[in-house]
Structure 1
Amino acid sequence: MFNTSISGIRGAQKYLDTTSNNIANANSYGFKKSRAEFADIYANSVFTSAKTATGMGVTTTTVAQQFTQGSLSGDTGNNLDMAISGNGFFVLANSENYETTSEVGDRSYTRNGAFELNKDGFIVTAMGDFLQGYDIDTEGNVTNLDIMSTHAIKIPSDTGAPKMSSKAELIANLPAKAESLGNFNSETATSPFSSLTSAMTKFDPKDSSTYTAATSQTIYDSLGGAHTLTYYFQKDHVNKSTVAAAANDGTALSTPDATIWNAVVYVDGQPVDIVDGQPFKPADPSSISGETLYGIQLAFSSSGKLVEEGGTVTGQIPATLYVTNISSADTTHQAPDGRTKYALSQAMGGGVDKTQDLNINLDLSQYGSSKFSVTNVSTDGYATGILENVEVDDNGIILAAYTNGRTQPISKVAMATFANPQGLIKIGDTQWKQSINSGDAAAAQANVGMAGAIKGANLELSNVELASELVDLLIAQRTYQANAQALQTQNTAMDSIMSIR
């Protein structure tokens, strides 16, 4: 008799304890509320009538965790804060060298994404546990999707390594109405593509009257040093009778009224030869010791497009800058006369990679304008960069941003899912461990499957609803009082029986 009321008091106390714990953690990031679940106690023997049997009280079957989604805090101002919008968990380990152990059961899991950096640059929780990540390639793809392959994520404190330029592009329009400087020797040349050592005799980079247009772009050496690559264009006129002659390969040009442009390149004010280029004599021989400078000769048809040797109309012409020879036997980077003085590395200065090549793509046109216009310049190189910022995208990729404008993926935040999250074992600090009931942790990625997305600079708030919890608190209190009253009533009845004489 008394046991029924006592079990009710115990159940009410469990209800009260569970509700109180929920309320206490209403402000705990990533906290998941619990719900006390009860069942009646019933016992009956073969000699007892089931019609008249009463229950024997109540028992607590489980305190079930409720993994419903909590609200997101909004921008916290800390890029290392992360919130999961979905069913996944962050993976934690208590050592930065955890990848060397095979005990996967030592990992823990959390929904609390309030992370920070420790003194060694690792991303950790407030309690010092290490956030785990996957190795990724340059495209951000995971190279090994397995819980055993995760490792502590370290934010690099060094500078971003530079990349020397290997490609450059110039998209521009040369002015068709520009005045011709008339350097082409039409009487002696058989083709606009023949070797014209007399061409460009008036060119002097210090005298703007000797060239039609110029533009520059920045390129980088192997040490991350920035250099100025300058293009000089000089308009030359080819008369109809001259261009009508056969090209070098014996093929007549399809557009006899083509216009010739001469082009040379300088790096940091120093001339640089073009591989298989056209030989030119500068106006000031003393500037390059009186030697020939190799540039490019461009022919434009009446359509404003480039004409390659042989008459093919094209829109682009590739070129390669010279590099310094290692030996005289290396003919790859030699000018036609064997000279290698005007090399890219020499113009860039000492200490740089002497084998650096720069492939230039000239996407040029010549349309009816009196002004030179540049649409785009680009290169694949970049300078040394200092770490400036770290952020996390929705796919869980941690990106390091450097002062040179580059972003580098560092790692991808490891996530895990479980077949039965309610079977996870609480270990405190808003963390859980897997159990037989939860099933093994399944490696997951953000935005793939059921894991959900990761929101950077956000935190998941507790899923506790205070209004509901306060109502449950009142119910638990009333239930406790009712069972206590039932116990007191039973005690009074027993006193009455005991007082019968």
Structure 2
Amino acid sequence: MGFSQALSGLNAAATNLDVIGNNVANSQTVGFKAGRTLFADVYAGAQAGLGVKVAAVQQTFTSGTLESTGRNLDVAISGSGFLRFDQNGQTVYSRNGQLNMDANGYIVNAQGARLTGFPDGKVGGDPEAIFIPSGGLEASATTSVSATLNLDAATLEIDRLGVPFDATDDSTYSYTSNVTIYDSQGNDYAATLYYTKTGDNTWEVRVGRDGEIATAAGTLNFDANGLLSSTAGLDSFEFSPGGGVTDLDMALQLDGTTQFGNDFELTALGQDGYTSGSLVGIAIDELGNVVGNYSNGQTRVISTLVIANFANAEGLEPVGDNAWAETTSSGQPIIGAPGVGLAGTVASGVVENSNVDLTRELVNLIIAQRNYQANTQTIKVQDEVLQSVVNLR
């Protein structure tokens, strides 16, 4: 009798319906990967066969569509790879990038699993749970001032003839420009750079604070074409801001400065100091860097996301909550920074939708239903045949 074949068909068809139903149920689950049922026939030496079995439920890791959310902490992987999480001491992997920051300062998913990364953006070593420090950013003293300008070649040399430089007397210098600098406590000062033409193609540079007596920093030398040929004393000079703070050891970088027969013109200006600041927000950029934004306008890379790849992603074990775990079939994870090697790139402000094709799944559902019904019909026919045999007298 073929009851065993029909029963195996019912069991297999029921599993197939479960898989399809699970796909349909998760068609709106971010990062979900659809499954499909693989069947195998059963013979074991039987002439007519013993029915069918479920060989495996295979996961399909094709990418889903990316949907913009506008949230700084929502990310999606464009390409291959998985985000790496620490979930209660177990390492799990997911394509769901709906992230938040918990009360303890860790970046987590909806289940509380902590996202891992390379601390301070230093790729390599063991990944760690990404922690956002609540403390502010300490002040940093200015160590370098950069400027690019044109010094008017037609300017006459300043012949002091024993008259000393005087910051309050514009006849003792040729040109000035201003820059804000910071001491080690984050106090800002208005500093003035004084340029004095002292000879053919030679200029003296001084630095002063708030109109006070300026200290000599160094000299600029230009060639016959008005291009900067050399500097002296600008790589390191001491500047005293006063106020009881440590004197600043500064460098003045004037690369690109020219001496042409045009008006004085400052085209670029910058310095590397800043005052203290508090954390006002975090974001994840397209390089996978978790960036802290501070009230003083500074940004800092706190960590870089880890992207994990596997030799056989279909061998990963689903553990629920949009996550998978490593198995011997999947192989060990190959981890790295986004966009490096096999790792996909990170898209910020978007999430990856489920890769379930709902139309296809509904068609498969109809086919699976017909398959189930056909197997029930087989049992019905076998029952009728058996009843006929029983009724023989």
Match of 1:89 in 2: 82
- 1:421-466 deviation digits (Å, cap 9, x = unpaired): 2222221101111222222333333212222122222211111100
Alignment of 1:7 onto 2:8: yes
Which amino acid counterpart does residue 456 of structure 1 have in structure 2?
S
Map residues 243-392 of structure 1 onto 2, 5 A cutoff: 258=200, 263-274=205-216, 303-304=225-226, 314-319=229-234, 323=238, 344-345=239-240, 347-350=241-244, 352-354=245-247, 356-362=248-254, 364-369=257-262, 371-392=263-284
Q: State which structure, 1 or 2, has the greater radius of gyration over its C-alpha atoms.
A: 1
Give the total of aligned pairs. Answer: 391
CA deviation after TM superposition for structure 1 residue 395, in Å: 3.4
CA 1:78/1:493 → structure 2, altered by over 3 Å: closer, same or farther?
Answer: same
Match of 1:499 in 2: 391
SS at match of 2:290: strand
Structure 1: which 5+ runs fail to align?
Answer: 46-52, 99-105, 186-197, 239-257, 276-295, 307-313, 324-343
Map residues 25-104 of structure 1 onto 2, 5 A cutoff: 25-44=26-45, 53-73=47-67, 75-95=68-88
SS at match of 2:66: coil
Match of 1:227 in 2: 189
Which amino acid counterpart does residue 17 of structure 1 have in structure 2?
D
Alignment of 1:154 onto 2:116: no
SS at match of 2:83: strand
Counterparts of 1:259 and 1:448, CA distance in 2:
49
SS at match of 2:392: coil
Counterparts of 1:128 and 1:24, CA distance in 2:
23
- 1:286-316 deviation digits (Å, cap 9, x = unpaired): xxxxxxxxxx67677765467xxxxxxx354
Alignment of 1:142 onto 2:129: no
Counterparts of 2:315 and 2:203, CA distance in 1:
77
CA 1:443/1:303 → structure 2, altered by over 3 Å: closer, same or farther?
Answer: closer
SS at match of 1:15: helix
Residue of 127, 132, 148 corresponding to 1:171: 148
The 10-residue stretch of structure 1 (260-269 or 444-453) with the greater mean CA deviation from structure 2: 260-269
CA 1:450/1:366 → structure 2, altered by over 3 Å: closer, same or farther?
Answer: closer
CA deviation after TM superposition for structure 1 residue 129, in Å: 1.0
Is the 1:272–1:321 Cα contact (8 Å) retained in structure 2? no
Counterparts of 2:296 and 2:66, CA distance in 1:
33
Aligned-pair identity in percent equals 37
Which amino acid counterpart does residue 215 of structure 1 have in structure 2?
S
CA 1:166/1:55 → structure 2, altered by over 3 Å: closer, same or farther?
Answer: same
Is the 2:220–2:231 Cα contact (8 Å) retained in structure 1? no
CA deviation after TM superposition for structure 1 residue 207, in Å: 5.0
Counterparts of 1:498 and 1:321, CA distance in 2:
109
Counterparts of 1:389 and 1:126, CA distance in 2:
20
Counterparts of 1:123 and 1:300, CA distance in 2:
54
Is the 1:320–1:358 Cα contact (8 Å) retained in structure 2? yes
CA deviation after TM superposition for structure 1 residue 231, in Å: 2.0
Alignment of 1:429 onto 2:321: yes
Of Structure 1 and Structure 2, which has the larger fraction of its residues in strand? 2
TM-score normalized by structure 2?
0.89
Counterparts of 2:91 and 2:202, CA distance in 1:
71
Structure 2: which 5+ runs fail to align?
Answer: none
SS at match of 1:410: strand
CA 1:302/1:418 → structure 2, altered by over 3 Å: closer, same or farther?
Answer: closer
CA deviation after TM superposition for structure 1 residue 493, in Å: 2.4
SS at match of 1:223: coil
CA 1:26/1:230 → structure 2, altered by over 3 Å: closer, same or farther?
Answer: same
CA 1:362/1:435 → structure 2, altered by over 3 Å: closer, same or farther?
Answer: closer
CA deviation after TM superposition for structure 1 residue 117, in Å: 0.5
RMSD: 2.7
Counterparts of 1:273 and 1:423, CA distance in 2:
70
CA 1:84/1:261 → structure 2, altered by over 3 Å: closer, same or farther?
Answer: closer
SS at match of 1:78: coil
Which amino acid counterpart does residue 108 of structure 2 have in structure 1?
V
Counterparts of 1:59 and 1:382, CA distance in 2:
69
Match of 2:336 in 1: 444
SS at match of 2:44: coil
- 1:128-158 deviation digits (Å, cap 9, x = unpaired): 111111234xxx44141xxxx2211012222
